[in-house]
Amino acid sequence: MAGNRSKNHEKHQAKMMELFTDEYFMREALKEANKALEIGEVPVGAVVVCKNRIIARAHNQTEKLTDATAHAEMLATTAAANYLGSKYLSECTLFVTLEPCVMCAGALHWVQLQKLVFGASDLQRGYSLVQTPLLHPRTEVVKGVKAGEAKALIDTFFRNIRDKSS
């Protein structure tokens, strides 16, 4: 009987692992990016995950807060640190729809992020354009998760702006 129970437990664990994939959490970050798009902000969204739980979510709010530094990653990491009562996020993963800029990568270094998962690459402002490693040396990086969807949102945003101004 005990054997049976532990087998069930294993099955349950395997199911949970299937559920909590990078794609799963990136979909949540994309929901945030969509919220940004709806209110006229550059559509970038982020969630912070700690032990398979979302502890913070944010989207770009540079217009709303009239703060050019109010990027999704900055808001999400600050909220996560507040939630944990810890300035370090060394057991957390940040999912963000667009490659972080140099400023955000610097912030992710300071919080000692465990893992960064991003969607689309940012060929203009992405941190990986800089030769010097900006992230914390222990931060694991996964890129390109749902990149197509993330980029489509950004393209829509800039197309809307062009349509309005023409």
Catalytic (active-site) positions? 73
The DSSP result for 112-157, as a single string, is T-SEEEEEE--TTTBGGGSSS--S-TT-EEEE-TTHHHHHHHHHHH
Minimum distance from residue 104 beta carbon to Zn ion (Å): 3
Task: Give the pair of three-digit tokens for residue 79.
Answer: 């909220």
Minimum distance from residue 73 beta carbon to Zn ion (Å): 6
Is 59 a binder of Zn ion (CB under 5 A)?
no
Count of residues engaged in binding Zn ion, rule: CB under 5 A: 3
Minimum distance from residue 100 beta carbon to Zn ion (Å): 5
Under DSSP, the state recorded for 41 is: S
Residue range at the interface with Zn ion (CB under 5 A); choices 68-76, 83-91, 111-119, 151-159: 68-76
- Interface with Zn ion in residues 94-123 (CB under 5 A): 101, 104
Is 71 a binder of Zn ion (CB under 5 A)?
yes
